[in-house]
C-alpha cells in the first residue's frame, strides 16, 4: 500500500468516524427529548387523576403498539427485532422517570424467568426474586411489586400446572406475555476443568460428576442428550435452574443444566452448550398485575371456565367461539377443587374481551358454565 493510499484511507475513516460522532450526538439529544416527553406524560396523568385514584403509568397496549410500529417501519441494515430491543430499553428508561417499577419473578437470580422479565420490561426495573410461583402472585397481590412474571408453558414439555392453579384463587389479571427461546447448557465448576477430569461433550471414566441438578422441566427437555452423553448420571430435580447452578458450585461431583446467565452468576464452565433435545425449545411467560389492558390491535384473552359434569359439557363450552368466529389457541384441563371428577378449563383465544365478537362468545359461554372468569386480555408477544 502506497503512502498516498494509506493517507486516503485514513482520511476516509476519519470522516466516517466524525459522521458517527455527529449521529451519536443527535441520537442522544433525541433520546433525552423523548425522556422529557415521558416526564410530561406523567405530569399530565397526575394532574387529571381523581383524588384517591392511583395513576397508571405503564400501559402494555401502548408499548406493544410502539414496538410493532418500530418493527414495521424498519428498513435495515439492522434487523427489525434488534431495533425493537433498542427501543424496548429506551422505553424502560423513560418509564423509570415516571414510575420506577418493581417486578416479582420466579427466582433465584439467574433463572429463565428473570431473563423473560428483563426482555419484557427492560433493564430499568427492580427485579425481585421469589421462591415459588405462588409467592410471585402473593407479592403482586400485596402491592410489594407492580407486576409479576411466571412461566406458563413450554413448547416441548407443555403447561406449567402451578401457574394455572394459582389463577383459580387470584384476582390478578394477565397483562402481557413473553416468548423466550430456551437454551440449556451442561455446567461444571472450574476445579473439574482445571484438573482435566472432563472432556467437552463426553463423559470421563476417571472422575466424573455423579449427579446433575436442574429443574424437572429442563431435565425432561434434555433427556435424549443426557441418555447419549451421561447415561449413568443421577438426575435430581430442584426448584430452578439457578438453584441447580448454585448446588453445582458448592457440591463435589455435581453438575448442572442451566442458562448462560446462571453459569456466569455462579462461576461455572459451560462444558456443552445448547443441549436441549428440540432446537426450537421455547417457553411462554405471563405478566400478571392488578390492572386491565386496553385493546392493542393484536391481542389474546385467557379464560377460566368450570362446566357441569355431564355429557357434551366441553362441546357446549367451545361451540359459541366457533359460532362467533373466535379462534382458540390453547385449551388446558385441570381438576377442580370443588368436587371429584369436576374440571376447570383454561382457554386462550385470539382477540380482546372488549371486541364485539369476543364479547358475544363470552356471554354465551357464561350461560353454559357453573363458573366463569376472564383472566385478562393482553397484547400478543412482540419480542
Q: pLDDT (tens digit, 9 = 90+) per residue, 185-215?
A: 999 987 655 444 454 444 444 357 999 999 9
Can you identify the CATH homologous superfamily of domain 293-379?
Answer: ACT domain (3.30.70.260)
Helix (H) or strand (E) holding 279: none
Q: Where are the domains of the chain?
A: 30-43+56-181, 185-272, 293-379
Same fold, 30-43+56-181 and 185-272: yes
Long-range contacts of the stretch 136-141 (C-beta < 8 A, 24+):
136/104, 136/105, 136/106, 136/288, 137/166, 137/170, 137/172, 137/288, 139/104, 140/104, 140/172, 140/288, 140/289, 140/290, 141/170, 141/171, 141/172, 141/290
User: If DSSP codes are grouped into helix, strand and coil, which group holds residue 272?
Assistant: strand
**Alpha-carbon span 53 to 117, nearest angstrom:** 27
pLDDT the model gives residue 177: 97
**Alpha-carbon span 144 to 23, nearest angstrom:** 41
The region of weakest confidence among 31-35, 108-112, 124-128, 379-383 is 108-112
**Alpha-carbon span 22 to 238, nearest angstrom:** 52
pLDDT band at 78 (very low <50, low <70, confident <90, very high): very high
pLDDT the model gives residue 228: 95
pLDDT the model gives residue 204: 43
| CATH class given for the domain over 30-43+56-181 | alpha beta
The CATH number for 185-272, chosen from 1.10.3720.10, 3.90.650.10, 3.40.190.10, 3.30.9.10, is 3.40.190.10
**Minimal CA–CA distance to 176: which of 88, 305, 279, 70?**
88
pLDDT the model gives residue 339: 60
The region of weakest confidence among 150-164, 198-212, 281-295, 323-337 is 198-212
pLDDT the model gives residue 205: 43
Q: pLDDT (tens digit, 9 = 90+) per residue, 333-381?
A: 888 776 655 778 999 999 999 999 999 999 999 988 888 999 999 999 9
User: If DSSP codes are grouped into helix, strand and coil, which group holds residue 55?
Assistant: coil
Sheet of 211-215: strand order equals: 234-238, 211-215, 254-258, 185-189, 268-272
**Minimal CA–CA distance to 233: which of 259, 263, 255?**
255
pLDDT the model gives residue 100: 87
**Minimal CA–CA distance to 91: which of 23, 37, 145, 148?**
37
Look up the pTM and report it.
Answer: 0.86
pLDDT the model gives residue 213: 97
Higher pLDDT: 10 or 140? It is 140
Q: Is the dihedral of CA 191, 194, 195, 201 positive or negative?
A: positive
User: Do 285 and 149 contact (CB within 8 A), yes or no?
Assistant: yes
pLDDT the model gives residue 338: 66
The region of weakest confidence among 121-135, 292-306, 340-354 is 340-354
Amino acid at each position: 500500500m502506497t503512502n498516498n493510499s494509506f493517507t486516503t484511507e485514513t482520511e476516509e475513516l476519519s470522516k466516517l468516524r466524525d459522521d458517527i460522532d455527529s449521529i451519536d450526538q443527535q441520537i442522544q439529544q433525541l433520546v433525552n427529548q423523548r425522556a422529557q416527553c415521558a416526564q410530561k406524560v406523567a405530569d399530565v396523568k397526575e394532574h387529571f387523576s381523581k383524588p384517591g385514584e392511583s395513576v397508571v403509568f405503564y400501559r402494555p397496549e401502548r408499548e406493544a403498539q410502539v414496538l410493532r410500529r418500530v418493527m414495521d417501519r424498519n428498513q435495515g441494515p439492522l434487523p427489525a427485532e434488534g431495533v425493537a430491543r433498542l427501543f424496548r430499553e429506551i422505553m424502560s428508561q423513560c418509564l423509570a422517570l415516571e414510575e420506577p417499577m418493581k417486578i416479582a419473578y420466579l427466582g433465584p437470580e439467574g433463572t429463565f424467568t428473570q431473563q423473560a422479565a428483563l426482555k419484557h420490561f427492560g433493564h430499568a426495573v427492580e427485579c425481585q426474586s421469589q421462591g415459588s410461583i405462588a409467592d410471585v402472585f402473593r407479592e403482586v397481590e400485596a402491592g410489594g411489586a407492580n407486576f409479576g412474571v411466571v412461566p406458563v408453558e413450554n413448547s416441548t414439555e407443555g403447561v406449567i400446572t402451578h401457574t394455572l392453579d394459582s389463577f383459580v384463587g387470584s384476582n390478578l389479571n394477565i397483562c402481557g406475555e413473553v416468548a423466550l427461546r430456551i437454551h440449556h447448557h451442561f455446567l461444571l465448576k472450574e476445579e473439574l476443568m482445571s484438573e482435566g477430569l472432563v472432556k467437552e461433550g463426553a463423559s470421563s471414566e476417571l472422575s466424573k460428576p455423579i449427579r446433575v441438578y436442574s429443574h424437572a422441566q429442563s431435565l425432561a427437555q434434555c433427556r435424549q442428550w443426557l441418555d447419549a452423553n451421561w447415561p449413568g448420571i443421577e438426575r435430581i430435580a430442584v426448584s430452578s435452574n439457578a438453584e441447580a447452578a448454585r448446588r453445582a458450585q458448592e457440591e463435589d461431583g455435581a453438575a448442572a443444566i442451566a442458562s448462560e446467565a446462571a453459569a456466569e452468576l455462579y462461576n461455572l464452565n459451560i462444558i456443552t452448550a445448547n443441549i436441549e433435545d428440540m432446537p426450537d425449545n421455547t417457553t411462554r411467560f405471563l405478566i400478571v398485575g392488578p390492572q386491565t389492558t386496553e385493546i392493542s390491535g393484536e391481542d389474546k384473552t385467557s379464560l377460566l371456565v368450570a362446566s357441569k359434569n355431564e355429557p357434551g359439557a366441553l362441546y357446549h363450552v367451545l361451540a359459541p367461539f366457533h359460532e362467533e368466529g373466535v379462534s382458540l389457541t390453547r385449551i388446558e384441563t385441570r381438576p377442580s377443587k370443588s368436587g371429584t371428577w369436576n374440571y376447570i378449563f383454561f382457554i386462550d383465544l385470539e382477540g380482546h374481551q372488549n371486541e364485539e365478537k369476543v364479547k358475544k362468545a363470552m356471554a354465551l359461554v357464561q350461560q353454559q358454565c357453573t363458573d366463569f372468569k376472564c383472566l385478562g386480555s393482553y397484547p400478543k408477544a412482540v419480542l
